[in-house]
Amino acid sequence: MSGNLDQHEAFKVPLATFETLLNDLRSDKATWDVQSFRKSIYDYANLLKAHLSEEIDTIRPAVLKAKITREQLAAHEQETDKYFIANTSLTKDPQIFFINVIVRGINSVLYYSGQVEPGTSSYKSFLGYTNEVLVYLHKHHLFEEERYFPFLESHLGAGTMSGNVDEHEAFKEPLAAFETLLNDLRSEKATWNVETFRKSIYDFSNLLKVHLSEEIDTLRPAVLKAKITREQFDAFQSESKKYFIANTSLVKDPQFLFINGDGVNGAWFPPLPGPISFVSKALLWHLHSDWWQFGSCDKNMHVKPEFAAYEPVKEK
């Protein structure tokens, strides 16, 4: 990889020059000139483009598979989880977008349940994807109950979030029933019936829909800003990073967020640094690519046409 490292060094100077120009413009030390601005970008971007092109050739799956086993790659990813999560930006509250991801995940399962046939490879992949929707839902609610709700109550007042916790309890039973059905389908203990499958989803998702709607009202910026300072919120987000380090899988979580993300209303979401986005899409995507085909979006968070009608409308 010495060639890649040399290329990193090659564009450091022009990149630093552009950063200096940008900082000078932001502090009014420099005068805006679009041609100078663009030239400064091209000075480093042309070198970066050549570097990325060669880097992609280096990390193509066929090249890596010839030298690196799946076990070695998985072990490496466990080690790098801490690095990537520690460098993830959480300065914007992503909770509303996480809620949208849940809604898109459930919508996609309902839609594609009518497109698969039992006994096929796509059917097994679909059930694997459906399991990831549930894994994500559990992670979201566990974070809320262990971290987010206690934080909010400490500032908004005791009992403020008790209604939300009660709503979590209300749909646990029908959610568990759906999980049992899904596990039985995956182990072939149950026979596929799309109507039974969808009904089991509706049994918990109708309750979940009410809960998420009320939760959004609780998390409105105007409500939070009235009780929580920026410093308090940033301190909470810093603490939350430790939680995410312990509960994030780089071979599944970023990919799930991309295929159910929101490139229209939240282009910054998910709040991941460039390197992790690149690795997630270019290197780790193929590990479960058969699952990710069932998302509401493609890997670049472009909503698929069949789901456009169900997209949330941004409030004015």
| pLDDT block averages, 10 residues each, the chain of length 316 | 66 81 82 87 77 63 69 63 44 64 91 94 96 92 85 84 78 93 96 96 87 73 79 82 74 87 61 70 84 91 84 59
CB contact set of 200 (below 8 Å; sequence gap of 6+) = 174, 177, 178, 181
Q: Is the dihedral of CA 21, 25, 26, 28 positive or negative?
A: positive
Determine contact, residues 102/140, Cβ cutoff 8 Å: yes
pLDDT of res. 300: 83
The residues that bridge with 297 in the sheet, in sequence order, are: 303
**Radius of gyration in angstroms for the set of CA atoms belonging to the chain, rounded to a whole number:** 22
CB contact set of 175 (below 8 Å; sequence gap of 6+) = 134, 137, 204, 208
pLDDT of res. 135: 93
| Nearest of 143, 109, 107, 142 to residue 123 by alpha carbon | 109
pLDDT of res. 131: 96
Write out the two tokens for 223.
Answer: 């409500």
pLDDT of res. 124: 96
Other beta carbons within 10 Å of 208: 22
pLDDT of res. 89: 41
pLDDT of res. 86: 45
Would you tell me the crossing angle of helices 172-186 and 121-143 to the nearest 10 degrees? 150
Would you tell me the crossing angle of helices 95-112 and 121-143 to the nearest 10 degrees? 160
**Residues 155, 144: Cα–Cα separation, whole Å:** 15
